[in-house]
């Protein structure tokens, strides 16, 4: 039975470093097209990394907000100062 090869994931830094190396090789060979392609790919992975970091920040913020809201709701149920919504309406 043949073993399945697992794909090796590259880190952002490893990918960026490899593209820098390939870009320099292309420049040394005078291949501007490949140098530009390497630059394009570096920009793409940088954008993906920025999106990933932004999404993680948003997830953390969402979690903090959810915890805060849940805590406030829990505290308000235990508070004698909070009245049910129907008793706070003004009578006309």
55-72, pLDDT tens digit by residue?
A: 777 777 777 777 777 777
Tell me, yes or no, whether 37 lies in a domain.
yes
Tell me, yes or no, whether 90 lies in a domain.
no
Q: What are the E-state strand segments in the chain? A: none
Tell me, yes or no, whether 10 lies in a domain.
no
Tell me, yes or no, whether 66 lies in a domain.
yes
Tell me, yes or no, whether 80 lies in a domain.
no
- Number of compact structural domains in the chain: 1
Tell me, yes or no, whether 82 lies in a domain.
no
Reported pTM: 0.52
pLDDT of residue 89: 52
Query: How far apart are alpha carbons 77 and 20 in whole angstroms?
Result: 58
pLDDT of residue 78: 57
pLDDT of residue 69: 79
Tell me, yes or no, whether 61 lies in a domain.
yes
pLDDT grade for 40, boundaries at 50, 70 and 90: very high
Tell me, yes or no, whether 2 lies in a domain.
no
Range of the domain at 53: 15-75
């Amino acid at each position: 039975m043949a073993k399945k090869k697992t794909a090796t994931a590259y880190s952002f830094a490893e990918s960026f470093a490899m593209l820098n190396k390939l870009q320099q090789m292309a420049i040394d060979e005078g291949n501007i097209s490949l140098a530009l392609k390497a630059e394009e790919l570096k920009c793409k992975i940088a954008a993906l990394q920025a999106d990933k970091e932004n999404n993680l920040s948003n997830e953390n913020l969402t979690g903090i907000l959810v915890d805060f809201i849940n805590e406030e709701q829990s505290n308000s149920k235990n508070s004698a100062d909070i009245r049910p919504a129907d008793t706070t309406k003004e009578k006309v």
